[in-house]
Amino acid sequence: MKTEREGLFKRALNRLTSSSEALEAEELQEDVRESGVDPIRSCADRQRVKLRGTLRTVTLQPRAGSPALEAELYDGSGTVTLVWLGRRRIIGVEPGRGIVVSGRVGIQDDRRVMYNPRYELKPMGE
């Protein structure tokens, strides 16, 4: 009983002294574990995955003269750049939005990239 109480105290103290970024990362990693999707940090080159996280940035980046919408997905363990070729905008794809994506991850310039992923937007605040 005493060790259980000490464990609860240590976790509560850790939450009070942790930064908001660390707490956000912890919550996102817990969501990943509970939903059964792949953590970004474990994604290998050319692996087919299903990921869940929060969009940090969304930008329009031209590629070879065509528009490409890029978004950075963060799940608390790492990031992956999502690229929708030929798109200038996707309604609902905005920073802070929760999203589940699936597709094939590639490694490009030492970063994870997923082109034209299937996606499901999570309700705001989730």
- The structure tokens 């608390």 sit at 76
CB of 81 closer than 8 Å to CB of 112: yes
What does the alpha-carbon distance between residue 38 and residue 60 come to, in Å, rounded to a whole number?
27
Q: In the chain, pLDDT over 70 holds for what percent of residues? A: 84
Instruction: Report residue 6's pLDDT band, with 50, 70 and 90 as the boundaries.
Output: low
**Tell me, what's the pLDDT at 28?**
75
7: pLDDT strictly greater than 80: no
Tell me which fold the domain 2-121 belongs to.
Answer: OB fold (Dihydrolipoamide Acetyltransferase, E2P) (2.40.50)
**Domain extent listing, the chain:** 2-121
